[in-house]
Amino acid sequence: MGIVEYWIVDYAALGGRAFIGNLKQPTISIYHLIDEEYQVSQFRDNDLIISPSWPELNLTANQIFTAGV
């Protein structure tokens, strides 16, 4: 379908260990399409979110996780 970028925001750390790691903590996974394959970058805690589609974004993972609280 050619979706350039998509995000999975696992604020409750419910994802499988293969996807979010063995410490199972809240994780934002950003998948970016490069040469017809998705490359993933993951962000946790106070990591600054880096998005190729939104380079001006200035948020940490925790800011996103706590936005609705």
3, 24 in Cβ contact below 8 A?
A: no
pLDDT above 70 as % of the chain: 100
Summarize pLDDT for 23-55 with one digit per residue, the tens: 889 999 999 999 999 999 999 999 999 999 999
**Residue among 41, 35, 14, 36 nearest 26 (CA):** 14
Residue 59's pLDDT is what? 96
pTM: 0.88
- The residue ranges of every structural domain in the chain are 5-65
DSSP 22-65: TT---EEEEEEEETTEEEEEEE-TTPBP--TT-TT---BHHHHH
pLDDT for 68 beyond 80: no
